Structure formats: C-alpha cells, structure tokens
Amino acid sequence: MRLTGVGVGPGDPELLTLKGQRLLGEADVVFVPVAAGPAPAGQNHLGAGDGGEPGYAERVVLAQAGSAHIQRLAFSLADDPDSRATSWAGAADAVAAAIDGGRHAAFATLGDPAVYATFAYVAAAVAQRRPQVVIDTVPGVTAAQDLAARAGVSIVEGEETLALLPITAGQQRFTTALAEHDAVIAYKGGARLAEVRAALAEAGRADDAVYGARLGLSDQVVGGLPAQGAGPYLSTVIVAPSGRRRSRRD
Amino acid sequence: MRLTGVGVGPGDPELLTLKGQRLLGEADVVFVPVAAGPAPAGQNHLGAGDGGEPGYAERVVLAQAGSAHIQRLAFSLADDPDSRATSWAGAADAVAAAIDGGRHAAFATLGDPAVYATFAYVAAAVAQRRPQVVIDTVPGVTAAQDLAARAGVSIVEGEETLALLPITAGQQRFTTALAEHDAVIAYKGGARLAEVRAALAEAGRADDAVYGARLGLSDQVVGGLPAQGAGPYLSTVIVAPSGRRRSRRD
C-alpha cells in the first residue's frame, strides 16, 4: 500500500512536473480536496463541494491525467472544531480504505507537499490508520514561485536571505521578517491585507511588494498591493529588495 | 526578441514542469551554463567545460527537449574578478546576439529562476545590451523542495515560519535564523559544513537537520548531516521542527 502526495503546482496545469503527471496517471485512485458544502467566501480554490465546481487541484488533475481515477475528499471548513475533526477523520478513513490490498493512492495538493500543505495532515492520519503504508511525495512549484515569474521579480540573489510565513502567524512576525530579511514571502494574507499594508508602510517597503491571487486563472490578479479591500484566502505577497522587478513588455 | 529563463528543477529530469519542457522545445536556441575550463572541486554541477561532460541543467534539457538547440555558455569561476567579468560579458553578448532578428532564446537554470539563480544576472546583462528584449521565466522546483520529498520531511505547517539563506551569508545569520524560525533552509553549505554543524549544535537542533547533495543522481546523498568532512557546493540543509520526518520504507 502506498500513498503519494503530488504537488500539482499553483493552479496552472502546465506547471505540473513530468513526475507529478506520471504518478497521477499511475495511481489507482487520485484524491482531490474539496470543501464540504459550498466553499466559503474567498476560498473558491477548494471548489464548490461534493457535486459542484472542481477546485484548483482537481482542475490540474483533470487537465493532465484525466478524470478516470479522481475521488473527491470533502474537508469541512466550519468554525466548529468538532465538525472539522469529523470530516478530517472521514477523509483519512477513505484514503486508508483506498490503499488496502496493496493499492496506490495519490493525493493532489496545491503547491508543494512540504510547504503549508494539507497533505502533511492527511499523511499523518493515514499512517496512524495503516502503519505499514509507504508514503512519498512529488515536489511542486509554489504560488510564490509562480507569482515571481508572472511579476518579473527575482526574489533572492547572492547572499540575500528570505523569510516565508503565513500572515495568520501575526502582523508582528511579518514586521520582524521585513526588518531582518532582504526578501519576505507572505501567504494567506487575503483576508488581512490591511495588516500587510500597515506593516509594509511602517517598514518603508510598500513599493517593493508584489501581490498575486488566482494565478493562472482567467481572473488572475498580479501587481502591486491593492490600495484597499481584501483578497482571496490563497493570495501571496512577495517583498523583494528595491528595484528588483523587471519591466515587462509581454 | 525574447529571452525565457527556464527553471529546470534540481537535476532530476522528471522534475521539469510541462511548461518548461514546452518552452525548451519552442525556443530557437537553449543556452546552458558550463564552467569555463575544468569544473572546480565540488562544482561538477557545471559540467567539465566547453568540450566535456554536460552539467546538471544540460542533462535535463538533453533528456526532455533533445540536443538540437543547445548552446553552451562558459562562465569563469576563477577567483580573478577580471576574468570573471570578461566571461560574463562574453556570455551576455552571445545571448544578445542569439535573440537578434526576433529570435527566442531560452536559458536553462537549475532550480527556480527567482531563487539564487544565475539567470537573474544574465537577464540584467542582456537587457542592458538589448533594451527592447522581452524577458520572462518559468518557475521550477528547487533543490530544497526535492530534498524535502526525498527525505520525507514536511518543512512548514500551519503558522510556522521559514528562513532561507546561503551559508555564504555567514554563520551568524544561520544561528539567528535557527533561533527565530521554526524551519531553516541553508544552501551552498558544502564547503562550510563545519560551520553548519557548529550552529546546529549550539541551537540544539542537530537532530532536526537533513542533508542532501547530488539529488537525483546515482551518487546522491540524502540523510542526516555528515558527522565530518565537506560536501559539494550545491548541497542543501533543511532544519524542520522536531519529529517532522516521516519514517520511510521505500
């Protein structure tokens, strides 16, 4: 029995690796995460629940490996810890059952399976249920790397240092990172862009920030930090050293 | 005229993205970096110079896009700044000439073109020579992401934070990062593993470190930090929160 966490990249199906494509095709079943029920505001990357729109990860699987092996796993995003725990346990049970009899399951995870990935929790829960499972992963391009390419930014060069954090870790950690590192990548800032703006202004680095959301989709946003308002959950901010952004003509 | 920096991943040809493969095939010419003259000790990722062994990036291009369009660019690694500057200017001249007449050149860069990549310097030098060039990039999987997959490590989860730095930035910056961040990735530590060991011991985090070099090659090294000795230039150390490494059976 084997479970492979496949990093499918940031959403653009062409940013899947060749190895990821191969393993999605070889697996007996490919699990994709969806929201249980309608996706909450700003979280449409998870699709619209069991019978609705596919989420970002499922779209990559559909585009590059077909629909034959796909099975949706519904994760509750409710505030209630009990319903969340119940839905996670149900997901882990489904994956565990799918690998019985020596079968091979893949789990499609956005970005990279080692970087803030749902897969880490799924893998731990499946290993509890089936201690003999072989777990491996395929690395994938993260949203920040995709944003750097789309915005024409070189993030770090030479002896520069980088900090990577979720804004949910708190504005103070973002402020400290801005003071101590040449470059900073902040994830999951969509709902907290006011804090991002405040910290950047305080550090005098607002002009060095690029912002991206829904990368690779028809309604993608790539540019400077929006002057007001909020963004989707999966938004990304890159703060690179001044003058690092290439002018783009394409 | 167009110049595309293609991140070809850490060395394993299968970790190239589908988009990278497409653009390597579409470009009129694909430049790959090699060392001018024999590669210095520990830097065999650059191949053995103009007529010798291909470097890591060239091997990926050969495996996934064929040899028809490949042109080697020799970079001097000499200590003498004048010969380095001369070889870099020559490389930029060659790329600039290749895109004249509206042609499209690709430059294959290991890892990701926004993360400690030679491409950043090449792109700036070519833009000076041909201000009208369109420059774009394709993101790629980094060595650290590949090491995390091969070592079974989840680097950051939840609200954890990560610092990324080259050991060439100095032992003090590594020590500070170990104190302030849940996870730390250190690049280019091969020649300075003694400093890495000392900083990890001081921070009490030696057991949380995994080390990788020559990933994806027949002589790859993946495991704990070697107790003594040095490694190649392109080695990677990941320090993740305790207990994060999956036991692996494959």
Q: Is residue A173 part of a domain?
A: yes
| Same domain flag for B9 and B129 | yes
Which one has a higher pLDDT value, A5 or A89?
A: A5
| Same domain flag for A153 and A119 | no
Q: Which of B6, B116, B122, B222 to mutate to test the interface with A (most CBs of A within 10 A)?
A: B116
| Same domain flag for B11 and B132 | yes
Q: What is the mean pLDDT of residues B211-234?
A: 87
| Same domain flag for A128 and A82 | yes
Whether residue A139 and residue B148 make contact (CB cut-off 8 A), yes or no, is yes
Q: Is residue B154 part of a domain?
A: yes
- Counting one residue from chain A and one from chain B, the pairs whose CB atoms sit within 8 A come to 184
CA distance B128 to B123: 9
Strand (E) or helix (H) holding A193 = helix A193-203
Contact of A125 with chain B, judged by CB distance below 8 Å, is answered with: no
Cα–Cα distances (Å) from A192 to A186, A198, A224, B159, in that order, read 11, 10, 16, 14
Give the structural domain span for B152: 143-239
**What pLDDT is attached to residue A249?**
42
Tally of CB atoms within 10 A around A101: 8
Which one has a higher pLDDT value, A48 or B109?
A: B109
User: Can you give the length of chain B in residues?
Assistant: 250
Cα–Cα distances (Å) from A177 to A171, A221, A239, B240, in that order, read 10, 25, 10, 18
Mean pLDDT of all residues belonging to chain B: 90
A97 vs chain B: nearest CA distance in angstroms? Answer: 20
Contact of A127 with chain B, judged by CB distance below 8 Å, is answered with: yes
Residues near B6 by beta carbon (within 8 Å), at least 6 away in sequence: B20, B23, B24, B30, B106, B107, B108, B109, B113, B137, B138, B140
Contact of B243 with chain A, judged by CB distance below 8 Å, is answered with: no
Q: What is the mean pLDDT of residues A221-228?
A: 90
B52 vs chain A: nearest CA distance in angstroms? Answer: 27
pLDDT cut 90: percent of chain A above it: 67
Cα–Cα distances (Å) from A60 to A176, A195, B14, B60, in that order, read 36, 32, 17, 23
Contact of B217 with chain A, judged by CB distance below 8 Å, is answered with: no
**What pLDDT is attached to residue B249?**
42
Taking only the tens place, the pLDDT of each residue in A76-109 is 777 788 887 888 889 999 999 999 999 999 999 9
CA distance A113 to B148: 9
**What pLDDT is attached to residue B247?**
63
Q: What is the mean pLDDT of residues B35-59?
A: 73
Q: Which of A138, A167, A183 is the last residue of a domain?
A: A138
Q: Which of A138, A162, A195 is the last residue of a domain?
A: A138
| Same domain flag for B112 and B37 | yes
CA distance B64 to B106: 14
Cα–Cα distances (Å) from A149 to A69, A241, B192, in that order, read 32, 16, 31
| Same domain flag for A14 and A52 | yes
Whether residue A19 and residue B15 make contact (CB cut-off 8 A), yes or no, is yes
Contact of A149 with chain B, judged by CB distance below 8 Å, is answered with: yes
CATH code (residue A227): 3.30.950.10
Q: Is residue B16 part of a domain?
A: yes
Identify which of A158, A180, A250 has the shortest CB distance to residue B136: A250
Taking only the tens place, the pLDDT of each residue in A29-63 is 999 988 876 656 666 676 765 567 788 899 999 99
Q: Is residue A247 part of a domain?
A: no
**What pLDDT is attached to residue B5?**
98
Whether residue A14 and residue B17 make contact (CB cut-off 8 A), yes or no, is yes
| Same domain flag for B64 and B126 | yes
| Same domain flag for A102 and A12 | yes
Contact of B15 with chain A, judged by CB distance below 8 Å, is answered with: yes
Q: Is residue A167 part of a domain?
A: yes
Q: What is the mean pLDDT of residues B182-205?
A: 92
Q: Is residue A100 part of a domain?
A: yes
Q: Is the ipTM of this complex over 0.90?
A: yes
Residues near A97 by beta carbon (within 8 Å), at least 6 away in sequence: none
Q: Which of B100, B120, B138 is the last residue of a domain?
A: B138
pTM of the model: 0.94
Q: Closest chain B residue to A137 measured between Cα atoms?
A: B149
Whether residue B135 and residue A152 make contact (CB cut-off 8 A), yes or no, is yes
| Same domain flag for A132 and A150 | no
CATH code (residue B16): 3.40.1010.10
Taking only the tens place, the pLDDT of each residue in B163-186 is 999 998 989 999 999 999 999 999
Q: Residue A211 pLDDT > 80, yes or no?
A: yes
Q: Is residue A235 part of a domain?
A: yes
Which one has a higher pLDDT value, A33 or A147?
A: A147
**What pLDDT is attached to residue B14?**
97
| Same domain flag for A120 and A190 | no
**What pLDDT is attached to residue B166?**
94
Cα–Cα distances (Å) from A135 to A9, A125, B16, B152, in that order, read 19, 12, 22, 8
Whether residue A132 and residue B249 make contact (CB cut-off 8 A), yes or no, is yes
Contact of A61 with chain B, judged by CB distance below 8 Å, is answered with: no
Contact of B21 with chain A, judged by CB distance below 8 Å, is answered with: yes
Tell me the pLDDT band of B39, cut-offs 50, 70 and 90.
low
Identify which of B114, B134, B155 has the shortest CB distance to residue A153: B114
- Nearest to residue B143, comparing CAs of B4, B6, B15? B15
B165: β partners: B186
**What pLDDT is attached to residue B250?**
40
Domain count, chain B: 2
Mean pLDDT of all residues belonging to chain A: 90
Whether residue A161 and residue B165 make contact (CB cut-off 8 A), yes or no, is yes
Identify which of B113, B116, B164 has the shortest CB distance to residue A164: B164
Angle between helices A171-180 and A193-203 (to 10 degrees): 30
A-chain residues near B145 (CB < 8 A): 7, 112, 114-115, 139-140
Taking only the tens place, the pLDDT of each residue in B125-137 is 999 999 999 999 9
| Same domain flag for A100 and A148 | no
Q: Is residue B244 part of a domain?
A: no
B-chain residues near A7 (CB < 8 A): 145
B101 neighbors B67 (Cβ within 8 angstroms) = no
| A177 three-state secondary structure | helix
Whether residue A114 and residue B163 make contact (CB cut-off 8 A), yes or no, is no
Q: Residue A183 pLDDT > 50, yes or no?
A: yes
Contact of B16 with chain A, judged by CB distance below 8 Å, is answered with: yes
DSSP state, residue B9 = B
| Same domain flag for B11 and B119 | yes
Whether residue B165 and residue A162 make contact (CB cut-off 8 A), yes or no, is yes
**What pLDDT is attached to residue A250?**
40
Q: Residue A150 pLDDT > 90, yes or no?
A: yes
Burial class (CB in 10 A: 0-12, 13-18, 19+), B92: buried
**What pLDDT is attached to residue A146?**
97
**What pLDDT is attached to residue B82?**
84
